[in-house]
Every structure is written in structure tokens, then in C-alpha cells.
Structure 1
């Protein structure tokens, strides 16, 4: 039991950006556009779900071993997400196995039911955790997530509380307050990121709707100009929310980080162009199990630092992997 008044920590990060990539936009864009995909041999598995739908998994690293990390991608991400594959490589180098959860509807093949994944859709992740425990009773589980995947992970941990099947977790660029993030993305230069994300989302839902029609006005969905309109017209009606703001309020991880009962590291940058520093929770709202590490720079899932001979390396991937490795002994 925690003592009354105890809470988590908010600490300053020691991350220093590469001198040629100090700005938030450079940190955010360069990994997406210029980084080659990290090599990672994957073993695919289709996981049938209790409601008749499915998700796809991808395994990497040794086929056997005591430590297993479940990795959760961000919005429009999947098995090819570079930050996820890079972190998987860091973990495998530390003698971990990894399994990537491709969230429901996130792959090339549409899922069977009309609904797809969203910021609050934690049921599949929680089901996977318990299934892995059943398959391997002695396995030592950890989890990591980025952006939307960070929100899903933190919400799931808060919902599970003391019953969480994982021993430790790590998250990058968590969008703690979803409405604030949606507001940020429809202003200034952030609109460019919103346009790219909406373009990809609309392509996903169009492909999905062609195979599994959803009870929504697809023309209105395709005409959405920002995330408020997209979530009002698509995410909310398909998932039982009144509207976009109801969805944001009920699913944002800020409401769940106080209930987390497993050692958890969250790393965010103050200059993240997908959000404002206002989204970052105070220590008093974090559970004693949670450490929020905040850097001045880093962008959104960027964190490119100078390595040997000035060559860039992806600091966040190493930081999250090292935290999990230190929290779950081999």
C-alpha cells in the first residue's frame, strides 16, 4: 500500500539533441523520412479474439527466454514502425524476446468488425497480456508504447492496477490530454502533421469500409478537416462515445496514470509539436510507481542524439530498453 500523499516523480532528462538537429521539426521529421527501417526478422502470428475479430502479432528475438516485452505502435503505425523496430533491436541485444501487437485494424488486411483501434481501446492489449501469462506461466512480461500506443499502454496499466500482468513498462511521447493535443494539431505548423496523419487515416478507413462497411457517413469522414471532425464522424460513433470531446475525456491517459501499480517510465519532450507542455501531468497526479522524464528538446518520437564521431543515434530507443532491462532482471 502507498502512503497517503505519496506520488510519482517528474525529472529532467539528460537528453541532448544532435547539434545539426536541434529543432523540434528536424527531430520529428528526419527519423520518419530519412532513417532506413531497422532490420528485424519477424515471425507472424494471427491471434483470434474472444469477440470473433483478430489482431496480428510479430515476434522477434530468440524463440525462448524468460523475458518478453510487448510493444505497441502509434497512430497509423505497425510492424514497420522504425522507432518500434529500433527498440526491439535494443531489447534483443539485451537478451529479451519481443512481440509487437499490431492494433485491431492496423494492418494491411482489414479486421472483421466495423470498429478499429483508438486511444482508449485497451481490451486487446490486456487480453494479450493474460494470454501470454497462460501460455508461459513463468514468463516475465514488460511493455512499451509510443504516442497513441503510449496512451493505450498507460490507460491499460491504470485500469489493471494491482492486477497488471506486466512487471514494468516504458512509454514515449504520451499525449496525456487528448483534447489539448487535438487543438494543437489544428494550429500553426502542426497542421502539416495533422494533414499527413489524416491522409493516412482516411486511406485506412476507406480500405476498411470497402471490405467491412461501417454505419457512418463515409463521405463526411473523408471530408474531415481536423481530428475533431474525424473523431466526431468516425471514432466516436463506432465506439460508443457521444462525440470527439467525450472520446478524448474518457480515453486520455492523464486520468489513469495515478492508478498505475507497476514501475513505469514515461519520456516526453517539451517541444513535441503534437502537443503543448500543458499536457504534462504534475508529480502529484502520478502514482508512486511512475517516473515522468521530461527533456527540453526531442520532438515527437525523435530524440536523435550525437553518438560516436558525431554520428546520430536514437536515444529514446536505448533509454526505454535500458529502463525495462534494469527493471526486470534476467
Structure 2
């Protein structure tokens, strides 16, 4: 759409895409009829995401490749010193039966907390005491919490009406990433309750059943949301997804449709068409030579670290074969065609990408969503669904000329979107009544002639 603009520069420009009549959001007001359109809520309370907003980038990070590499290579070890409490969620066979596609086994959740320990030595001691035997070591400032400690965290959450924000990281992401720590710290310092939901096998979590992440693996999120809503029925719940984590969020919201209990959602640098993105990353020099090998390396390590569990499916994973062929994987498609797609129940990576792409079900999303992307993202397809977004009143897209892959490092070295996400969620918490019905001006996907082909799988 704005591809004619040069993909380099120092001053960033935001372009907004939305429906002519965005969904009307009910206000916290004595007047029961008082509402505000989604686009107006953004204009008033999140001006950084409004059309034509400009801001300066860090001068020497003047294109998407440099932005993205900087975040990967720079030293953020002392930045965003937020602490996390890791909790293991055990999914029993009985629990798994309550959901459509929930595998048994384990996944992990990292809750943002104030550190209980007064010294680093005390933290290290508690870290060692609570680390389960045989589990990977965790990233700095994160340790496992006992059941009693998690009970205390939930009691703190129950003491106020502040909203809950679930962060869904990218493919190789989690609390190891400065972006995730930055948004966690900002939301936590705003008084919100924040947790990071790790995909299975990711962020040094251990899988106990042969199930890895996929774009359609939404039931870990669904179970987490349902449990939180049951425990804290009066709280707003918001979702924030980064890169591949946004794919999971978008697919989850589409599956829930008008039954969604989520107050709002934000995605940052998330692909809409996974097949296109698979091709796009190989079109640029940096994509082929830097980003693609890094992702393949991560995927191989993921399989290697969980090889004992994956061997429970011998027809799919043979350790000797894996050791022989892993060096032949040149692209993510190579790995996904051999493992991810088949573990998700598809015969090939192509089928898996088509089925997992949120664009296939974009009109089923009926939760207010802010979508943030850049035109110079070197890791995903920038052929964004502008026309589709204009037809769904629940969606608001802020596309920047520059910014790379969830980097957007501004002139002060900060991630521009951190304040955007915080202000968007704050606007819902302060001004929107989640108990009133939203007015979407009669938007109904069932009225469309191609209703039977919207969700391909």
C-alpha cells in the first residue's frame, strides 16, 4: 500500500487502516447509551497509533534489518529488570477431554512479580531449591514458584480490579527477549497483572508429551483464559501477541467469535499469511543469511532438547535420522514439513501454513484489536490485509513505514510500541464497560455469501 516509500529513514510515519464505522464501545458512564467508536478511542487515548503520527527512530537503525538485528545483538542484560514466577500447568487426560485440541502434558506460565528475595544470593538459593529435577535452567530473574507462593500471587491479584494481560511471545521468544521484558515491566508498573504464556517447548520449558507449538494450538491459551476468568470473574482480560504469538491470539479470537470474553487484543509484527511469510523471508539478503538460519537453529535446538519425549512418536521422530538431516534444513519450511506440520496433523508444511493463517478467518474476529506492523519487516510478508481490515469493524491497524520485526527502536533507544500497548489497554480499563454489549453496526459474517469458505480448516 505504501511500498513506493523508501524503506529507510530516521523519522517514522504511522498509517491507520480501519472500517468507516468501527465498533462502538460502551463507556463507563452514567448514561447507558454513551459509546465511543474504536477509531475514536485510539485517536483520543492512543495518539501514537493515530494516522499520520510521526516519531524519530534511533538514527543508525534506519531500516528494518538493522532494527531487528540490533535487538538481537545489543546488550539488554541490565535493561528491564523485571522478575517472573514460573508456574507449571499440568494438563491431565481428563482435563484435555474438555477441549477440542488440548494435548495432555505440561505448559508453563511466567507471572510478573515483585521479587520476594532481598538479595541476589537469596534469589539464587530459592532458584536452586525450586528448580524441578531434570528441567532446563531458567533465564535470569525467573524461578519456579511453589503452590503456596502461587497462592499468594493470586491473593494479590484478587485484592483489586486491575485487568489481566496475557502476553503471547514469538516463535523463539519469551522472557529472554528484551521486547517481552520491556512490555512486561511497563504494564506491571501501570498496576496491571501480567503473565507470559509460553508455547510448549519454548523459553526453556520442558515437554512431557510429544506436542510442540503450532499456529492452531490455541487450547493452552483457551484453558488459561477460562481458568483466569473463573478465578477472577470481575476482571478484564487483554491479550498481547508478538510475531508468531499474534498468530495464536488471532486464531483464538476467531474461533471464539462473538463468544469471546477478551476485552481487547494487540498484535505486534504478526503475520496474517504464513505461506506468504515463508516465501518473504527468503527474498532479502538479511532474511536468507541472518534471520532464516537463526530460526532454523532454534527449531533444531527445540527438537534436540526434547528428543526423548519426541521419540514417543517413532514414526515421526527418529533421533539418528534427526542427527543426520538437521544440517540439511535450510529454511523453516524444511523443518516444518518434516516435524511441525505433521505434529499438528497436516501432511505438509504448505497445508499447515494455509490452515494456520489468521487471514483465513479474519472476519470471525469479534474482539476489539489493535494491529501494529511495519512496512520494512524482514521476517514476514508485508502484504497486509488492508482491504479485509476495512471490512471488519473490530480491527484497527497501525502500520509504520519503518520498524523492522517488533523492534521500532526510537531515538531514545526505547521500543515505541510499549507505550502504545500500555495506553490502549489503559483506555479500555479506564473508560470501557466490559459488561455492556458492543455495537458492531450489524456486522455478521454469516451474512456473507462465502461463509462456508472463510475458515479453510
Q: Given the two structures, how large is their TM-score scaled by the length of structure 1? A: 0.91
2:281 to 185, 196, 216: 185
Correspondence 1:98-137 to 2 at 5 A: 98-137=194-233
How has the CA–CA distance of structure 1 residues 61 and 272 changed in structure 2, closer, same or farther, with 3 Å as cutoff? same
The superposition leaves residues 63-90 of structure 1 with CA deviations (integer Å, 9 ceiling, x where unpaired) of 3232110001001112222211110111
Contact 2:176 2:203 in 1 (8 A): no
From the superposition, tell whether residues 11 and 205 of structure 1 become closer, same or farther in structure 2 (CA, over 3 Å): farther
Q: Which moved more, 1:40-49 or 1:170-179?
A: 40-49
1:328 aligns with 2:429: yes
Equivalent residue for 1:294? 399
1:220 and 1:233 in contact (8 A); partners too: no
Distance 1:205 1:13 in 2: 43
Q: Which moved more, 1:102-111 or 1:72-81?
A: 102-111
Distance of 2:65 and 2:332 partners within structure 1: 20
Runs (5+) with no aligned partner, structure 2: 1-18, 24-38, 40-49, 97-103, 115-155, 432-457
Q: Secondary structure at the match of 2:71?
A: helix
The aligned runs of 1:83-94 (5 Å cut-off) are: 83-94=179-190
Pick closer, same or farther for the CA change 1:16–1:252 going to 2, 3 Å: farther
Does the 8 Å CA contact 2:108/2:205 hold for their aligned counterparts? no
Of 103, 107, 119, the residue aligned with 1:55 is 107
Q: Distance in 2 between matches of 1:182 and 1:225?
A: 12
Report the TM-score when normalising by structure 2. Answer: 0.66
Match of 1:28 in 2: 68
Q: For the residues of structure 2 that align with 1:230 and 1:13, how far apart are their CA atoms?
A: 40
Q: Is the 8 A contact 1:236 1:242 kept in 2?
A: yes
Q: Indicate conservation of the 8 Å contact 1:79/1:102, yes or no.
A: no
Q: Secondary structure at the match of 1:313?
A: coil
Q: Distance in 1 between matches of 2:298 and 2:238?
A: 30
Counting only pairs closer than 5 Å after superposition, residues 240-259 of structure 1 correspond to structure 2 as 240-259=345-364
Q: Distance in 1 between matches of 2:350 and 2:68?
A: 27
C-alpha distance in structure 2 between counterparts of 1:40 and 1:180, whole Å: 36
Count residues in correspondence. Answer: 323
Residue 328 of structure 1 aligns to a residue whose secondary structure is helix
The residue number in structure 1 matching 2:255 is: 159
Please say if 1:204 is aligned against 2:296.
no
Q: Secondary structure at the match of 1:304?
A: coil
Aligned equivalents of 1:303 and 1:5: distance in 2? Answer: 28
Task: Name whichever of 83-92 and 11-20 sits farther off.
Answer: 11-20
Deviation of the 1:23 alpha carbon: 1.4
Task: Tell me the SS of whatever aligns to 1:204.
Answer: helix
Report the Cα offset of residue 43 of structure 1: 1.6
For the 8 Å contact 1:264–1:291, the answer to whether it is kept is: yes
Query: 1:69 & 1:142 partners in 2: Cα distance?
Result: 5
Distance 2:71 2:82 in 1: 17
Q: Determine the C-alpha separation between the residues in 2 that align with 1:265 and 1:323.
A: 8
| Distance in 2 (alpha carbons) for counterparts of 1:11 and 1:222 | 46
Q: CA separation in 1, counterparts of 2:53 and 2:266?
A: 15
SS in 1 for 2:414: strand
- Structure-2 residue corresponding to 1:42: 84
Give the counterpart of 1:268 among 366, 373, 376.
373
State which structure, 1 or 2, has the greater radius of gyration over its C-alpha atoms: 2
Q: Show the counterpart of 2:58.
A: 18
